[in-house]
Amino acid sequence: MTSDSHDADRHKEKMQRRKAVQDQEVASKTIEKGLLMVHTGAGKGKSTAAFGLALRMLGRNRRVVVVQFIKGAWSTGERTALTRFDDLLEWHTAGEGFTWETQDKARDIAACAHAWDIAREALRRTDVDLVVLDELNIALRYDYLPLSTVLADLEGRPQRQHVVITGRNAPADLITAADLVTEMTLVTHHFKNGVKAQEGIEF
């Protein structure tokens, strides 16, 4: 037997053992439920990942509701692309821009309360498979919404409904309640080197 053949056989045996372990692991997972997912951290990609999940749901012919907190109603590539699925997608941009732009706390609180009214309605619907609550963590960070109310409404949603929440500084109680938490870690960001936000990358 040549050295190459021996290496190939060893690799095949190793992968067969690995496959047996993986198959057993997969077979042991029997619970099916709606997931509460949180994308947080200082790194770029939190909303991008959530909209990728929305696209996956739409590709499976599932109904999606997007509620954007804080962000204003500017044109973004993800909204333009996803709204082509207008028979399955509802998109609500309920913010008026980031807090340093509005500079009006009372108006920000009112906008977030309105956004949560929309979100609460989506969280009660059995025909909605995924609710994207974009930048909700920012609203919670600034106490524009009561966390206890948010957690109660999330807990009371239909059993099979999935929710993904984005934004920096996710509160500890939300992280505890979540089924999946991903923290985007900032390593390098082009913005710090003078590169402006660009169409198709940031919006």
94 within some domain: yes
Average pLDDT, the chain: 91
Residue 1 covered by a domain: no
Q: How many domains does the chain have?
A: 1
Q: What is the pLDDT of residue 165?
A: 98
Give the residue ranges of the chain where pLDDT is below 70: 1, 72-74, 95-103
Q: How many CB atoms lie within 10 A of CB 198?
A: 9
Q: Is residue 18 part of a domain?
A: no
CATH code for the domain of 147? 3.40.50.300
pLDDT digits (tens, 9 = 90+) for 63-101: 999 999 987 666 789 999 998 999 999 999 986 655 545
Cα–Cα–Cα angle for 139, 140, 141, rounded to 5 degrees: 95
Residue 28 domain-assigned (yes or no): no
117 domain-assigned? yes
Compute CA distances 33 → 45, 142, 175, whole Å: 25, 31, 18
For tokens 């309640």, what's the residue?
Answer: 177
Domain residues for the domain of 132 are 34-186
User: What is the percentage of the chain residues whose pLDDT exceeds 90?
Assistant: 67
User: Cα(68)–Cα(40) distance, rounded to whole angstroms?
Assistant: 15
192: in domain: no
Residue 19 located in a structural domain: no
